[in-house]
Chains A and B, each alone.
Chain A
């Protein structure tokens, strides 16, 4: 269904990848500032998030630059016009946020690569300073994509103030899931008791965080649907594409709501509640973690797909 759309798969992938990367770096930076020293639970999370974060953001940015009409017509550096102007277009503000965020998050990631020499400053101090910058910039990158879509009355499906908040929560959730997923790829045999403890505790922190994000995301999805459903005219007509019977309903309810939110949210709660209520130890096999994280990431991708496509196959009703 993405064929023939003004914004097709590259844009959908960008919205997803930039959100996930910004989310991972934001989670990393907040973990660091909440007491991640040179080792320990928070450090473990912060390190994974910091190194992972910039990768999807850079891939996604590359995709949308390749997709630009100017680039496809041989004006390979025309996109730099974006950095010659400052205006109130959400895309312009977003470009500046993205530019700053990419710069700070790459240096931030570099400070975690201990085997590489630090050309300037103290590694830990630079890291902390950049963490303070990365939280607002990361949230900015996660939010602006939703503002960009929401800024147009000509696209009633997108023209909602809550869309940006939904994208931000999805970014944080998929960012957390990306950390969980990558952590779970590393075999845990041969770790000593203390290291095992760190792995499980950081897994617990990540699972509780992600469950919280998913909970809020479900509330926002409900509000988004409910207010559109109670509306009339353009918005009501647009929301019918994802309500039962609509062309994107199956993808939305199964892909986004069930696989992306409800199932991983309930699984995370199931594993987290013993620790949360009874202070039991959190022990989950890394295969379970892989499946949960993959479901969350898949849900985030399908969410962007459904939103971007639904916004473009609907429009103002009447003439």
Chain B
């Protein structure tokens, strides 16, 4: 997991905040309430404690990420439904969904569940291609956002995403994708999918804060990201995820069937 060290500041000793007063443990909800209020003013954030050293290391104070424990997921689609309801995502499209991976033949087989959402990459390939500057990675919290009032709907970013996370919202004519529920997170709430998950498989938080629950979980478990060879440095981490693909050369002789549970039957 060497490549993770570069992108999870919580693991970096030299990046630690020196101000010990601010390091009292907060519950997740309280933490969001605090950061949500602080994030309303960039100046407040920059002034907080001796945190500027850590900010220099990563370019931002807070960096939201998510850990998905695929061992706990049982594919109920509560996250998918919560997300669709939260944003009124048009029919046929999803900001988040759960893929099933069937593998092997009876009695030696497995069924894996893989929740998918925007990876909020640290090197997002969708951002530099935008010809009108309608999408960017937020300085204050690392969320990759789209401004639907600037977006012209050219669909270049949709092509550039190696995870097929973006789609054109036919109701607005703008590109759209998961934004970690900014409207909820900024009010101190968790994203809709996290709150809806009955298995507790999703953990959301600030990966720049070494004391956050998510940083603890990442530090204490083997985690993986999707398609790391694309160089996108995703911020969605999986525990126990089955990365097997139907086209995977590693399992050519084995029965593998992926059900995407979305409009596109093939994984893209």
Contact = CB atoms under 8 A, between A and B. Distances in A.
A95 B132 CA distance: 11
B1 to A, nearest CB: 17
Interface string A77-93: 01101101101111110
Interface in A1-33: 6-7
B154 interface: yes
Contacts of B248: 317-318
B160 interface: yes
Contact of A318 (B153, B171, B245): B245
Interface stretch (A63-71, A107-115, A204-212, A245-253): A63-71
A161 B73 CA distance: 42
A70 B133 contact: no
Given A73-B173, A90-B129, A154 B155 contact: no
A213 B166 CA distance: 38
B243 to A, nearest CB: 5
A89 B173 contact: no
Contacts of A312: 159
A257 B154 CA distance: 30
A154 B161 contact: yes
Interface stretch (B38-46, B184-192, B224-232): B224-232
Most buried by A among B154, B155, B161: B154
A96 to B, nearest CB: 10
A229 interface: no
A233 to B, nearest CB: 8
Contacts of B155: 6-7, 69
Interface in B128-176: 128-134, 150-156, 158-162, 164, 168-175
Nearest to A155: B159
Contacts of A75: 173
Contacts of B160: 151-152, 154-155
Given A70-B152, A317-B245, A153 B174 contact: no
B152 A151 contact: no
Contacts of A318: 227, 243, 245, 247-249
B172 A73 contact: yes
A315 interface: yes
Interface residues of A, number: 37
B125 interface: yes
Contact of B132 (A69, A84, A88, A155): A84
Contacts of B175: 69
A289 to B, nearest CB: 38
A89 B227 contact: no
A319 interface: yes
Given A70-B151, A91-B154, A152 B129 contact: yes
A224 interface: no
B162 A153 contact: yes
B231 A153 contact: yes
B174 A69 contact: yes
A152 B243 CA distance: 23
A244 interface: no
B173 A70 contact: yes
A68 B134 CA distance: 14
Contact of B125 (A152, A315, A317): A152
B108 interface: no
B243 A154 contact: no
Nearest to B166: A6
A298 interface: no
Contact of B152 (A68, A152, A319): A68
A237 B168 CA distance: 27
B183 interface: no
A89 B172 contact: no
A275 interface: no
Contacts of A315: 162, 164, 268
Contacts of B159: 6-7, 152, 154-155, 312
21 contacts: A6-B158, A6-B168, A69-B152, A69-B155, A69-B172, A70-B153, A73-B172, A73-B173, A78-B152, A82-B131, A85-B133, A87-B131, A89-B128, A89-B131, A148-B156, A154-B159, A317-B247, A317-B249, A318-B227, A319-B244, A319-B267
Q: Which 9 A-B pairs have the closest CB atoms?
A: A69-B153, A73-B173, A154-B162, A91-B131, A69-B173, A92-B131, A81-B132, A89-B131, A70-B153
